[in-house]
């Protein structure tokens, strides 16, 4: 294992110290339990937005704390859900009297820990709405799984719900908009290489030099199918077909298309993916009205990408375009 | 034969040691069908629990178990935190106020513990989770007591049943947790949660059954 770290057990704390030093204008950091909090929270009368998850997906979630997006993020250990005491502290810290929305990616651990935290906060009289993200089309939604995983749509939900909260919309409205993003968003990922959790010291899985994993999750969990590597045009067609058929997205739809790097993919390749995706959607009469290309929800140093489509309407476009000022996304300010 | 407060502390200490010894093994099992963190997380939680139990030491086994449970909830994360936290919290509720455990008390603790884990995780037997080790352990222990077996013998049978249950997860297709995303591909691998649960039941048998 080669990484720019001191000791594996200090990775998360030292990352937080870096964030604290780099962005004092945006956030403050609470240690033990670890929470990244918007510098001006709590904001009276504004719905607080809290998310969290394992570390190793940077800039998600800590990089999305700031004006127009999250009020707090709870970083767990690498690829491990944070704990209820982190989420509870975050909820208290951002409650401006208008209630708090928890954005929860659909993983067993995240759901259970956020449930416990929401119970704690409600017992103190804080109104909490939990919104689940489960957009990964690689996972079949059935009674026999824990449901679909939450992946790329999380980033879009945090931006759009964050804009709604910034407009001082009430709790039920912010939650409604967040759920609307989940209902209209679909994603799929793929990996060319594995990744190494610092404390594990070894790659999570092995992939041959000529192999790729389709339908990979963001924790290096194996996907649905392993196959020989193909040209990117065929890879994008496979992923985009699965996504488009799922909602389904139809001719005349306007979408936000996110091409996301898994952490180890050069931008040159992400733009090629976007080029292929653009052609694929154009041929089906689907218009890319907005796009986001880069590393936003990563899996440590994994090479690979994910594609997320979000079907847009005027409300979602307006909220997407609204100003945002965070370490990871910034425009209009 | 009963379990004293010191015996209960020995059980916690020994389980922390066993988890530490199996940290890489549990993580390796988890990397096959999950996200490669189970051993690391359980080890971090049990080490934190060891530090915490020094501070309680009031002779109440219920309080000891509850302290371990609360510490696991706030230090483990993932699914293991709420699930193992709940298991120990329920052990604590079942043994509240007791300075000694009779064989029947451990039966009750196992029953409460399994009930809590199932309520939190909503897993049924055969879903390829920790309950696949815990339910056979609970049932074998209860059956042994009913047959008039000694405490040591009941603990031994409980551990053997947990081991069988753990091994029986190998061919199963996971229906809960992160492994369920793999569908058929989760078959052929032993469940890491069932493994750490077997280790817990085995530790009880080794700590309390040997003396």
Class of A185-313 per CATH? Answer: alpha beta
Cβ-nearest to A83 among B81, B175, B176: B81
Q: Give the distance from residue A204's alpha carbon to the nearest chain B alpha carbon, in angstroms.
A: 5
Percentage of chain A lying above the pLDDT 70 cut: 98
A185-313 matches A8-184+320-331 in CATH topology: no
Q: Give the distance from residue A202's alpha carbon to the nearest chain B alpha carbon, in angstroms.
A: 10
Residues of chain A with pLDDT under 70: 141-145, 222
Please answer whether residues B35 and A149 qualify as being in contact, where contact means their C-beta atoms are separated by less than 8 angstroms. Answer: no
- Chain A neighbours among B 49-78 (CB < 8 Å)? 73-78
Give pLDDT, residue B80.
93
Angle at B79 between CA B158 and CA B83, to 5 degrees: 40
- Chain B neighbours among A 242-301 (CB < 8 Å)? none
Chain A interface includes B20 (CB < 8 A): no
- Chain B neighbours among A 293-332 (CB < 8 Å)? none
Residue of B nearest to A86 (CA): B74
Residue of A nearest to B174 (CA): A145
- Average pLDDT of chain B? 94
Q: Please give the average per-residue pLDDT across B27-44, as a whole number.
A: 90
Cβ-nearest to A200 among B40, B120, B181: B40
Class of A8-184+320-331 per CATH? Answer: alpha beta
Residue in A23, A57, A61, A102 annotated catalytic:
A57
- pLDDT of B51 > 60? The answer is yes
Cβ separation B82–A204 shorter than 8 A: no
**Known active-site residue A61:** no
Cβ-nearest to B181 among A76, A145, A220: A145
Handedness of CA A200, A204, A205, A208 (dihedral sign): negative
Token pair of A293 as six digits: 């290309």
Please answer whether residues A273 and A232 qualify as being in contact, where contact means their C-beta atoms are separated by less than 8 angstroms. Answer: yes
- Please give the C-alpha separations between residue A319 and each of A248, A254, A294, in angstroms, as whole numbers: 23, 15, 20
Percentage of chain B lying above the pLDDT 70 cut: 99
User: Which pTM value belongs to this model?
Assistant: 0.86
Q: Which of A129, A134, A70 is nearest to A108 (CA)?
A: A134
Chain B interface includes A182 (CB < 8 A): no
> Residues A65-123: pLDDT tens digits?
999 999 999 999 999 899 999 999 999 999 999 999 999 999 888 999 999 899 889 98
For chain A, give every domain's residue range. Answer: 8-184+320-331, 185-313
Distance CA B8, CA B16 (A): 13
Q: How far apart are the first and last CA of chain A?
A: 40
Give pLDDT, residue A143.
55
- pLDDT of B102 > 60? The answer is yes
Q: How many CA atoms within 13 Å lie on the side-chain side of A36?
A: 37
Cβ separation A108–B177 shorter than 8 A: yes
Please answer whether residues B129 and B121 qualify as being in contact, where contact means their C-beta atoms are separated by less than 8 angstroms. Answer: yes
Cβ-nearest to A80 among B78, B120, B181: B78
Class of B3-209 per CATH? Answer: mainly alpha
Q: Which residues of B touch A82 (CB under 8 A)?
A: 77
Strands (E), B37-120: 100-101
For chain B, give every domain's residue range. Answer: 3-209
Give pLDDT, residue A93.
98
Q: Give the distance from residue A104's alpha carbon to the nearest chain B alpha carbon, in angstroms.
A: 13
> Residues B110-132: pLDDT tens digits?
999 999 999 989 899 999 999 99
> Residues A234-247: pLDDT tens digits?
999 999 999 999 99
Give pLDDT, residue A296.
98
């Amino acid at each position: 294992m080669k990484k720019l770290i001191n000791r594996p057990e200090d990775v998360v704390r030292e990352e937080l110290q870096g964030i604290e030093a780099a962005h004092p204008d945006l956030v403050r950091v609470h240690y033990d339990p670890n929470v990244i909090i918007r510098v001006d929270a709590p904001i009276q009368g504004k719905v607080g937005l809290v998310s969290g998850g394992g570390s190793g997906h940077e800039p998600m979630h800590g990089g999305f704390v700031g004006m127009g997006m999250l009020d707090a993020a709870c970083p767990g250990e690498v690829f491990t859900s944070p704990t209820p005491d982190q989420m509870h502290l975050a909820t208290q810290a951002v409650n401006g009297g208008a209630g708090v929305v928890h954005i929860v990616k659909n993983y067993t651990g995240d759901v259970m820990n956020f449930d416990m935290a929401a119970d704690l906060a409600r017992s103190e009289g804080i109104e909490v709405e939990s919104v689940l993200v489960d957009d990964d089309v690689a996972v079949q939604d059935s009674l026999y799984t824990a449901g679909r995983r939450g992946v790329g749509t999380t980033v879009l939900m945090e931006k759009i719900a964050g804009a709604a909260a910034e407009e001082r919309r009430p709790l039920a409205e912010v939650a409604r908009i967040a759920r609307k993003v989940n209902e209209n968003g679909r994603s799929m990922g793929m990996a060319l290489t594995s990744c190494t959790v610092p404390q594990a010291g070894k790659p999570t899985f092995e992939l041959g030099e000529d192999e790729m994993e389709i339908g990979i999750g963001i924790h290096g969990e194996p996907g649905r199918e392993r196959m020989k590597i193909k040209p990117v045009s065929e890879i994008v067609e496979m992923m985009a077909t699965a996504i488009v058929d799922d909602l389904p997205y139809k001719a005349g739809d306007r979408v936000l298309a996110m091409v996301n790097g898994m952490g180890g993919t050069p931008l040159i390749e992400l733009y090629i993916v976007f080029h292929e995706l653009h052609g694929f959607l154009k041929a089906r009469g689907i218009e890319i009205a907005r796009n986001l290309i880069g590393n936003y929800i990563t899996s440590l140093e994994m090479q690979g990408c994910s594609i997320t489509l979000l079907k847009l309407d005027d409300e979602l476009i307006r909220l997407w375009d609204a100003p945002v000022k965070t370490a990871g996304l910034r425009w209009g300010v | 034969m009963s379990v004293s407060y010191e015996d209960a502390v020995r059980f916690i200490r020994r389980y922390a040691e066993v988890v530490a010894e199996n940290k890489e093994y549990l993580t390796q099992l988890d990397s096959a069908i999950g996200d490669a963190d189970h051993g690391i997380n359980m080890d971090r939680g049990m080490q934190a629990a060891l530090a915490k139990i020094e501070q309680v030491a009031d002779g109440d086994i219920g309080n000891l178990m509850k302290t371990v449970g609360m510490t696991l909830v706030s230090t483990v994360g993932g699914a293991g935190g709420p699930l193992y936290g709940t298991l120990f919290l329920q052990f604590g509720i079942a043994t509240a106020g007791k300075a000694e455990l009779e064989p029947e008390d451990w039966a009750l603790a196992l029953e409460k513990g399994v009930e809590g884990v199932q309520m939190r995780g909503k897993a049924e037997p055969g879903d390829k989770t920790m309950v696949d080790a815990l339910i056979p352990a609970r049932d074998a222990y209860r059956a042994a007591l009913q047959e008039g077996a000694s405490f040591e013998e009941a603990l031994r049978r409980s551990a053997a049943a947990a081991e069988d249950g753990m091994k029986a997860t190998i061919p199963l297709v996971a229906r809960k947790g992160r492994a369920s995303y793999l569908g058929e591909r989760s078959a052929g691998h032993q469940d890491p949660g069932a493994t750490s649960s077997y280790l817990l039941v085995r530790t009880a048998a080794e700590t309390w059954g040997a003396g």
